[in-house]
Every structure is written in C-alpha cells, then in structure tokens.
Structure 1
C-alpha cells in the first residue's frame, strides 16, 4: 500500500486552473520534492495534501484512506512551514510538545517525546529558551522537532529553508537528509531551489503551469531531461541550448561552420532539414580529449574558485563552459571544446520535447 496517493488533482479559482491533473504515488519512506518556479502550483498542491485548501476534483489518499474531507488534524500529517510558526511566549520544550499537549498526551510521555526529538536535533540545551532567543537555524530545528514528535504518516515541508542564509541552508539540508536516512519517513517537500531538490529527493516532480513536467530520480531529471524547461531549470549554470538542424546525418549550427555527427541514439531525429535544439551541459565541456568538438571564441572568463566559468561564441550562439580553474587561455582566443557523445541532448525546436521521448 502506498503511503500517499495523489490522483488527478485539479484546482480552479474562478476561470483559472491552478492544478491541471496531478498524479503521484509515494511508497513509504520516499522523499518527494515538488520543484518549480513561483506560481507553478507546488504550494497549492501541498496545501491540498495538508487539508489547508480544497481540491476542485480528484482524490488524496494517505495510507490507502481518502482524506479530502478529513480535518487537517486527523490526516496523520505534520507540516513544517517557511515561517517556523512558533509560539513566541512558549519555551522550546512547550513549542515542540504543543501538539501532544492539545491531544491530552500524559505529561511524562510528552516530556520523553520532546527530549528524544531534541536529542535527535541536537537542541537539548535550548529547551528552556523562547523563540526570540534562537537563531534562524535553531528555530527551524524546533519547528522540525514539533513535527517529529507527532510521528505522522507523511511529513510536509513548505520551503522550510528559504529564510536562512546560504551557510545555514547547507547545514539544514544536511540535517534534514540525515534525519530522513535515520527515520525512513515519507516526505513531500516544496522548494524552488534546485540544489535542495537534487541533494534531498529520492524523486523530483518538476512542476510548470499546474502540471508535472517530469517526475523522476535526481539522476534522471539531470541526465535525461524530458523537455527544454526541465533542461534549463535544473543545472547551474543552466544547460547550453544551441539552434541546430540535421543535414546529411550531421548536426549543423546555422550561420557557422560548426557541425557534429548525429549520435546513433537519435536516429529518428535524423530527418534532413529538421530544426532542433542541441543541449550540452557546461560541465560536460573540456579543452582536451577526444570525441565530438566545437570551436568557440572566448568572451568572458570568471573564476569562482573551484572552476573557471567561460562564456564563448560558437558561430553566433553563446555558450558556457565550466573548466578547471587553471585552464590556460588568452582573451578572445578560440578554444576547442570537446565532449562525449552521451552529453548531447536534442529537443524538437517547436514542442521543446526531448527527441528521445519520441522513440
């Protein structure tokens, strides 16, 4: 039995359809990240799962039981909010145990649950403090502790790290990952941050305009993007996208002398004259080796520390290469950039769908 089933969920506000038929099933212990830009519908979907919003149609089942008309407190879920939602007048101990207190859990049992959660989150020394005496990261740990003590079927996280600075976000990502590996809990996690999605998820649902554009493991989303949108949304810097057409079984960049052999796996994309988008990730490019290559004139080079990010022109199209930091070159020099055939992605220029999806 699945821990969570989302079946053809639709949500309409007046004439605007915010969710357009969402279908996902999670097995027990899965970590699903809903990833997308603002307005794509990910938080609306989370709120429907939580019972904070009603679906126009469809069904949500937790542990096989439909919960669409069940009060949030009776859904066997726990939610961690972006704003922490802590009670400022209560101590950390009472904040963590507040839900248990409202359920009339006996004080000794409640105290043990709170202290166990605090030990797990390494905040045992903070139990007598008020939220105003805590850092952002400590407040988020308290909010997570309050969810943990309820031992729900499903945990829901609504952009929980967006209020933290970069260093704290990284620390809390590690903490959430560690907790999930220890507790094997089922999680639905909303974020617009691709790094959070890639590092935390067992599966990612990339959402766009109320639909799931692609659902897969982080490796599938990164290495085999189904559409141009997924290809550009996941990856930093984003995937290079170059206009190309097929000529005599070669990929030809317009208004240039750049041409590449068409990989065999794209055989059905080989119609002469077909307009395509050629995708290559910046980190797949290198200045030495073998395999397909293209020449590009250096425009700008930026040293980030661990890598040299080079912006260059291939014909009249701009691309980015992530190279080792000590790569030797001169301004305006032409670099020969090599890459493996497997690094080539092809998308239909009209539909934006990966050519591999057509086969």
Structure 2
C-alpha cells in the first residue's frame, strides 16, 4: 500500500492550468523532494496534498483512503512552513504540544511527547523560552518539532530552510536527514534549492510548467537526466550545453571546427541537430585515460571559490565552463586544451530536448 498516491492531479485558475496531470506514488518511509523554479506548481501541489487547496481534477489518496474533500485536520498530515508560524505568546514547549492540546491529549502524555521530541531535536534546554528569544535555526527546529510530535502518516515541508543563512541551512539540512534516517518518516518536501534536493531525497520530482519532467533517485537525476531542462537545472556550476550536429559518429560544435567523437553506443544515432551536455567537473587539463577526447577553448574568466577553480572559456561563439582543482594553472586569454571521457557526455535532441541514448 502506498503512503501517498496522486492520480491525474490538475489545477486550473480560470483558463490558466497550473498543474497538468500529476501522477505519482510514494511508498512509506520515502523522502520525496518536489524541485523546480518559482511558478512551476510545486507549492500548489503540496497545498493540494495538505487540503489547503482543492484539485480541479484528480484524486489524492493517503494510505488506503481518498482524502478529496477531507478537511486538512482530518488528513493525518503535518506541515512545516517557510515562515515557522509559531505562536509568539506561547513557550517552546506549548508551541510544540499545541496540536496535541487541541486534540485533548492528556497533559502527562502530552508533556512526555514534547520532551521526547525536544530531545530528538536537541532543544530540550529551550522549552521554557518564547519564540522571540530564539535564533532562526532554533525557531525552525521548534516548527519541525510541532510537526514531529503528532506522529502523522505524512510530513509536508514547504521550503522550510529558505529563511536561514547558509551555515544554518546546512546544519538544519543535516538534522532533517538524521531525523528521517532515525524515524523512517514519509516526507514530501518542496524546494527550489538543488543541493537540498540532492542531499535529502530518496527520490526527486523535477517540476516544470505544471508537470513532472523527471521522477527518479538523486543519482539518476544527476547522471542520467531525462531532458535538457533537468540536466541544466541540477548541478553547480550548471551543465555546459553546446549546440552541435551529429555527423559521422561525431558531434560537430556549432560555430567552431571542433568535432567531438562520440561513444560507440551513440555512433549509430541518425544525423540531427543535438545539444552536447558536459558537466564542468568532467573536464580536466590532462587526459585520464585513452578514451578521453580533447576540446580547445579560449580562457575568459578564472574564479577561485576555495575548493575549486571555475574557468569560463569560449569555444566558437559558445561558453564552456570547467571546474578544476584549486591549484590548476590557467592563464587568462590563453587557448587551453581540456580533456573529457567520452562516456561522460550527455546528448539531447535539439528539438524535443529529450535525452538521446543508444
């Protein structure tokens, strides 16, 4: 039995369709991340699961029952919002236990549940404080604790880390990962941050214009993106996309004399306009093995980030970015030869933008 099932979910506002037939099934204990840019429909979909919005068409099933038309409080879900949504006049302990209090859970049982949850989140020393006395990271832990204490079937997170600075975001992300591994809870998590998606999810649904572009594990999303959009959205620096033409077992880069030999499995693909995808980290200054092909490009910008040297180059009239070891020696304005294993290349149809495989 699925913990959550979405069947042909559509949402329209007048003539505008924001969700265009979403289908997915989520097993118990999965951590699903809805990933996409602003306006793709991910928060709308989360609100439909929560019961805060109604689908125009389709069905939402939680456990073994349809929850279409069921009030949010009766759906056995808990939601954590971006804005924390804490009661400023209540202590941390009462904020965490407020949902139990509204359900008439006995005081002793409620206190035990609050203490257990606070211990898991390592905020037991904060139980007597008010939200105004807490840092942003501590407030978010309280908001998470308020959801955890109820022990629902499904947890819903709507961009919960967006208001935190980079260091707190990383710490809280690690805490969420630890909690999921420890509790085995079922989670649907909305974000536009690909790092959050890659590190937290058991599966990622990359959304675009109201539909799911690809639903897969983080490993598959990164290493076998189904479309050009997925390939360019996931990865930092983003994947290089070079316009090219298939001919004689090579991809001829538009605007240059460069022809990249393709892996043997791709050499029987019919001639057509394509886009060659190259991850910046797959480019290197020296060949690693005999299957490497080389690309010559003019160095335009060199940026040291600390752990890597990001080199922006031009090949014909197109940009090519390489992520190199920090001590690499690259001269501005020089012609630099890069090598890449042909097996790490990605190929997309220029018209459909879908992945081309052998």
- 1:325 is paired with a residue of what secondary structure? coil
Give deviations 1:73-101, integer Å, cap 9, x for gaps.
11010000000010000000000000000
Please point out which of 263, 277, 280 is paired with 2:278.
280
Is 2:249–2:266's contact at 8 Å kept on the other side of the alignment? Answer: no
Q: How far, CA to CA, are the matches of 1:8 and 1:239 in structure 2?
A: 32
- 1:330 corresponds in structure 2 to 331
Residues 101 and 110, structure 2, Cα contact 8 Å, conserved in 1: yes
- Mapped to 2, the partners of 1:161 and 1:54 lie a distance apart of 26
Between Structure 1 and Structure 2, how many residues are aligned? 355
| Residue 128 of structure 1: aligned partner | 128
**Structure 2-normalised TM-score?**
0.98
CA positional deviation for 1:293? 1.2
Whole-Å separation in 1 of the counterparts to 2:28 and 2:248: 50
Give the deviation of 1:329 after TM superposition: 2.4
Render the CA deviation track for 1:140-184: whole Å, top value 9, x for unaligned: 000000001100000000000000001100000000000000000
Cα–Cα, structure 1 residues 268 and 213, in superposed 2: closer, same or farther, change >3 Å?
farther
Q: What are the superposed Cα offsets for residues 187-245 of structure 1, whole Å, 9 maximum, x if unpaired?
A: 00000000000000000000000000000000111111111111111011110000111
User: Which residue is 1:295 aligned to?
Assistant: 296
Inter-partner Cα distance in structure 1 for 2:51 and 2:34? 17
User: Counterpart of 1:67?
Assistant: 67
Shift of 1:315: 2.5
Return the alpha-carbon distance in structure 1 between the equivalents of residues 32 and 255 of structure 2. Answer: 44
Q: Does 1:4 align with 2:11?
A: no
**Cross-structure match for 2:341:** 340
Structure 1 residue matching 2:244: 3-state secondary structure: strand
Q: How does 1:24-35 map to 2 (within 5 A)?
A: 24-35=24-35
Partner of 1:309: 310
Gaps of 5+ in 2: none
Superposed displacement of residue 268, structure 1: 4.8
> Partners of 1:152 and 1:87 in 2: how far apart?
21
Q: Distance in 2 between matches of 1:179 and 1:65?
A: 27
The residue aligned with 2:103 is 103
Structure 1 counterpart of 2:173: 173
The two structures, once aligned, show a CA RMSD in angstroms of 0.9
CA deviations 1:300-348 (Å, max 9, x no partner) are 1001111100001122221100001111122212111111122111111
- Give the whole-Å Cα distance in 2 for the aligned partners of 1:313 and 1:93: 58
Question: Take 2:286 and 2:3, find their aligned partners in 1: how far apart are those partners?
Answer: 49
Unaligned stretches of 5+ residues in structure 1? none
Q: By how many angstroms is 1:267 displaced?
A: 4.1
Q: What is the alpha-carbon distance in structure 2 between the residues aligned to residue 268 and residue 111 of structure 1?
A: 67
Q: How does 1:52-201 map to 2 (within 5 A)?
A: 52-201=52-201
For residues 330 and 82 of structure 2, what CA distance do their matches in structure 1 show?
Answer: 45
Q: Secondary structure at the match of 2:44?
A: helix
